Each structure stands twice: as structure tokens, then as C-alpha cells.
């Protein structure tokens, strides 16, 4: 019998409701529709009520949908590699009948690749191709509702000028999709080298946190948050700035009050981009490490 069509109860229901992906507001909405209110609005107050009274099929679907939405939030990874001038387009470099299943096949694996995914061009551009895939994971150590889960991922190759940009988009909740995407990317790069599109000595480069000095990181975040790149979001205000002094440096007189006295500094308010900490950015970004920045858009 397929467990997807069974209503959980007892310990199985308690384990399901205590899942970190199900939050207090999900349970509160169900309980309040029944006309039940609690004195202490915590998740631990709602779980016993629903375990004792049970949940309906519609309520189960509602919780599952909320859980899927939270799990589906993708995490993106970007790499780049230089290609040869006047090389063949990317779609041509991939052999006909290229079988992704053979690339990602793994002995004693707890997941399988669904279907037979293949690369397709974007907007008929043969130098802009992508592959969407899904994996089904088996994990019988988890609760009844998580024995079998599906996750999606994407591998995208785009050749622009003399650079081949590799974009990998995958679900942050699934190590399996990350593993599959990395295998596909590595194998396609191998095919591109065999086709002469990329030198055999070239290696992929990943953009990492340590590739930037703190000063450049601050500049990047400021330009990213305040410069308008499209018509969807418009910068309105800087609400929150957090940083800590760089203990390895000697501070100039104007900010010497921070040295050996301030461990972390968090500033909250409005129009913080017009304050001393932004206007004197050359000073503050050089002698401090940025920790967080909250931006308001409209």
C-alpha cells in the first residue's frame, strides 16, 4: 500500500508535525479554523492538540504543500572556464545520444535520476543551453512522509565572448541534486575539451568569499543593493548594517575608538547609507569586516 494515501496518526503524526519544515503558523491556522485557541502560542502547544484530534486529508495536503515550498528554495553555484576563440557552439560539442543516466550512475546509490533529461537551447541560442533534471531519493531512516522525496536541479552552460559561464542551480535541501549537477558539469567540460572548445589544461574557477578583500566585498554589496539593474526592484533604504573591527590592523585616529573596545557593531534605522559609515566608506571598509546588510526595496 502506498503510504502517500494514508493519514498519519499517533507517533507518526507527532514526528511529522515536529518536522523543522512545518512552522508554528501552519499549525496555528489549522487549530484556529477549528475554533481552538491556546494561551501560549508556541509550536509545542499545537502539536499535542493535533496528535490527539488527528488531521484531515485536506489539512495533510496543506501541510505537505507548505513543506514542499520551503524545501524547493534553490541554492545556486556559479563557475567559469575560458574557451577557445572561434570554437564550435556548445550544443554541437555535446555528442548526439549523450546519455545523462550513464554519467550520474552510481553503485549502491540511495537515489535515481528520473526520466532521460537532455540539453536544450534557450531562445534558439546554441551557445546558451540548459538541462533540467529531477532525482528521487530513498531514505527509510526518515519518518513515513519522507521515505521517498523528489528534488529538482539544473545545469546551465552559456558561452559569451571568450568565457564559458557554467551556472548550476539546485535545491539547497538535497545533496543528491548537487552531486548530480556537479557530475554533469564535470563530464560536459570533459566533452568540450575533447571537442577543442576548451584547452585541456584549463580548470574551472569558482567565485569564493576569499577571492575578495573586505573593501571589495563592501563595494560589491553596495553596488548590488543600490544600482538599478532591472525594472523589478527599486532601492529605497538601508535599514540595518552590521560589522566588526579588523583586529589585525592599526586604526586611524578618526575611528580609533573602535579598536580593542568594539567587538561587533550593529546599526539599525533609516537612510543608513547617508551616515558616516557609508560616506567614510574608504575608512570603515578597510578597517572592518562586513557581517550583514539589510536593504528595503519597493
Q: Is 202 found in the same domain as 86?
A: yes
| Domain of residue 84, CATH code | 3.30.530
Q: Is the pLDDT of residue 48 over 70?
A: yes
Do 83 and 199 sit in the same domain of this protein?
yes
Same domain for 149 and 64?
no
38 and 91 housed in the same domain: no
pLDDT for 56 equals 92
Distance set, CA 80 to CA 160, 162, 168, 216 (Å)? 11, 11, 11, 20
pLDDT tens digits, one per residue of 91-103: 888 888 888 889 9
The answer to whether residues 200 and 218 belong to one domain is no
Its pTM stands at: 0.56
Average pLDDT over residues 65-82: 72
Q: Does 179 lie in the same domain as 66?
A: no
Q: Across all residues in the chain, what is the average pLDDT?
A: 76
Burial annotation 195-211 (CB, 10 A radius, 16+ → b, else e): bebbeeebeeeeeeeee
257 and 190 housed in the same domain: no
Domain hosting residue 67, numbered range: 3-71
Co-location of 78 and 60 in the same domain: no
Residue 54 pLDDT exceeds 70? yes
Report helix angle 57-71 to 24-33, nearest 10. Answer: 160
For the chain, what is the domain count? 3
Task: Give how far Cα 251 sits from Cα of 214, 215, 257, 286, Å.
Answer: 15, 15, 9, 9
Higher pLDDT, 289 or 27: 27
The residue among 267 and 111 whose pLDDT is bigger is 111
Amino acid at each position: 500500500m502506498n503510504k502517500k494515501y494514508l493519514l498519519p496518526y499517533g507517533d507518526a503524526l507527532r514526528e511529522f508535525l515536529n518536522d523543522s519544515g512545518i512552522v508554528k503558523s501552519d499549525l496555528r491556522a489549522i487549530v484556529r479554523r477549528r475554533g481552538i485557541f491556546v494561551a501560549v502560542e508556541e509550536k509545542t502547544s499545537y502539536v499535542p492538540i493535533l496528535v490527539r484530534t488527528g488531521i484531515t486529508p485536506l489539512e495533510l495536503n496543506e501541510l505537505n504543500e507548505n513543506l514542499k515550498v520551503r524545501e524547493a528554495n534553490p541554492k545556486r553555484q556559479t563557475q567559469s572556464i575560458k574557451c577557445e576563440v572561434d570554437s564550435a557552439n556548445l550544443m554541437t560539442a555535446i555528442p548526439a545520444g549523450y546519455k545523462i543516466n550513464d554519467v550520474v550512475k552510481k553503485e549502491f546509490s540511495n537515489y535515481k535520476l528520473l526520466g532521460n533529461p537532455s540539453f536544450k537551447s534557450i531562445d534558439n541560442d546554441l551557445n546558451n543551453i540548459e538541462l533540467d533534471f529531477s532525482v528521487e531519493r530513498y531514505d527509510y531512516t526518515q519518518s513515513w512522509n519522507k521515505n521517498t522525496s523528489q528534488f529538482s536541479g539544473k545545469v546551465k552552460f552559456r558561452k559569451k565572448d571568450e568565457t564559458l559561464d557554467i551556472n548550476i542551480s539546485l535545491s539547497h535541501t538535497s545533496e543528491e541534486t548537487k552531486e548530480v549537477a556537479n557530475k554533469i558539469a564535470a563530464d560536459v567540460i570533459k566533452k568540450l575539451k575533447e571537442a577543442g572548445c576548451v584547452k585541456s589544461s584549463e580548470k574551472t574557477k569558482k567565485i569564493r568569499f576569499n577571492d575578495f578583500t573586505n573593501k571589495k566585498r563592501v563595494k560589491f554589496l553596495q553596488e548590488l543593493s543600490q544600482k538599478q539593474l532591472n525594472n523589478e526592484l527599486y532601492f529605497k533604504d538601508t535599514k540595518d548594517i552590521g560589522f566588526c573591527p579588523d583586529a589585525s590592523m592599526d586604526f586611524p585616529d578618526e575611528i580609533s575608538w573602535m579598536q580593542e573596545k568594539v567587538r561587533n557593531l550593529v546599526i539599525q534605522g533609516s537612510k543608513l547609507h547617508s551616515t558616516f559609515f557609508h560616506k567614510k566608506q574608504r575608512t570603515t571598509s578597510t578597517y572592518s569586516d562586513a557581517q550583514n546588510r539589510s536593504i528595503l526595496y519597493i
